[in-house]
Amino acid sequence: MSDWIEISIPSLRGKEKEYLEECINSNYVSSIGPFTTKFENLISEKIGLNENGAAATSSGTTALQLGLLSLEVKQNNLVILPTYTFIATANAISHVNAQPWIFDIEMDHLTLDHKKLEHELENKTFQKNDSCFHKKTYQKVGCIIPVHVFGCPPNIEEIKRIGKKFNIPILLDSACGIGAKFKNLNLGETDLPGIISFNGNKTITTGSGGIFYSKEKNLIKKVKHLSSTAKCTNRYDHDEIAFNYRMSNIQAALGLAQLEQLDKILNDKKKIHLNYLNAFNNCSKFKLISDPNWGESSHWLNAIILKEDNKETIEKLINKLREARIRANYFWKPLHLQNPYQSSMRNKLEHLNEIQERILILPSSSNLKFDEQQKIIKIIKSYFQ
């Protein structure tokens, strides 16, 4: 065991070992086995969907890719997404041969700015045959992907209104959003399809894996078909070019044990967030990213952002924390600054060029001890005094 205070590590305190041993003893270790169905059904229930509302995949990224295909996003379509997200969001768009259209974020919660979204669509697109097209390139706008940043929900109500107004489907990148709520609605209750990631650093983990969820059974059916090489019969007939993107029974077993502890893990994470919030409430040089007035974060990660009039960067603070064996770090570089996407269509985003220098993610593991958190808080407060 490391003696470092880590940013986000799994809490394996349930039946993980028992379920994994059951997989080994039964020889169900691959993509066929009972735990996958159990995991899919329990995740459906936890996020407010009926049974069979989820399709397990090999990662959150592949879930996003298959979700785009299920919504019939085509080659050369434009897909709208915020610049502040993990690069996998844009990569999933590229994997279906569509093109990212990179948009601005609102600065309070770092999620897709719905006001700028609507303004850009009003000025740069037109409607034809119940679809939305870009005025200059004539590309169809195939989808909007809002992102839960640090677990914080975007303004789903406004984005849904805009999607309906411009005839653009929506796919939620709620990779870190399990447990988040929009106006007391769980992820599945928003009536939007979406994805969740179960990477090792997420709120709960399957080691590596993801979920596509939707109340629309035809979308679930499409994703399951595409993730299973589009196999139609036991005589190995395949009706389209597809993928081997299934979650293994072993991963699902780990995920089921994690999912059984979800409420406790979320409650522990909320306590950690409130401790940070109370400690940093009156700090003049930075603020803690917290819940929006339209919902509640899952509190996957806690992050502080330096205020715009603060000319410092966080590098010295990172080094100070690391001297105390506390793992704190920079986070995402905006998409418009990433080499693969520097030529992508975008809004004016120059004001975000330095945002990576202003955001610090803090230790947020659900098993973070109170005295460890107080040590983190003390160092950060002393640094800014």
Amino acid 48: pLDDT: 97
Amino acid 28: pLDDT: 86
Amino acid 94: pLDDT: 98
CATH H superfamily, domain 262-384: Aspartate Aminotransferase, domain 1 (3.90.1150.10)
- Please tell me the distance from the alpha carbon of residue 231 to that of residue 161, in angstroms, as a whole number: 37
For residue 95, what are the contacts with CB-CB under 8 A and spacing of at least 6? Answer: 65
Encode burial over 348-381: b for 16+ CB neighbours within 10 A, e otherwise: ebeebeebbebbbbbbbbbebeeeebebbbebbe
Chain region(s) in the chain for CATH 3.90.1150.10: 262-384
Tell me what percent of the residues of the chain surpass a pLDDT of 90.
Answer: 94
Chain region(s) in the chain for CATH 3.40.640.10: 16-259
Q: Quote the longest CA-to-CA distance of the chain.
A: 70
Amino acid 1: pLDDT: 56
Note whether 283 and 297 are within 8 A (CB).
no
- Per-residue pLDDT, averaged over 128-149, amounts to 98
Cβ neighbour number for residue 24 with a 10 Å cutoff: 11
Topology adopted by domain 16-259: Aspartate Aminotransferase; domain 2 (3.40.640)
- Please tell me the distance from the alpha carbon of residue 194 to that of residue 50, in angstroms, as a whole number: 15
- Per-residue pLDDT, averaged over 216-224, amounts to 97
Q: What is the pLDDT of residues 12-34, one digit of tens each?
A: 999 999 999 999 999 988 878 89
Q: What is the pLDDT of residues 238-261, one digit of tens each?
A: 999 999 999 999 999 999 999 999
Amino acid 307: pLDDT: 87
Measured at the CA of 354, the angle between CA 349 and CA 357, to 5 degrees, comes to 145
- Per-residue pLDDT, averaged over 270-295, amounts to 95
- Per-residue pLDDT, averaged over 213-231, amounts to 97
Q: Rounded to the nearest 5°, which phi and psi values hold at 313? A: -115, 175
- Please tell me the distance from the alpha carbon of residue 152 to that of residue 290, in angstroms, as a whole number: 8
- Per-residue pLDDT, averaged over 210-238, amounts to 96
- Please tell me the distance from the alpha carbon of residue 229 to that of residue 244, in angstroms, as a whole number: 5
DSSP 281-336: TT-SSEEE----TTEE---SSEEEEE-TT----SHHHHHHHHHTTB--B--PPPGG
Amino acid 309: pLDDT: 72
Burial of 308 per CB tally in 10 Å (0-12, 13-18, 19+): exposed
Q: What is the pLDDT of residues 87-107, one digit of tens each?
A: 999 999 999 999 999 999 999
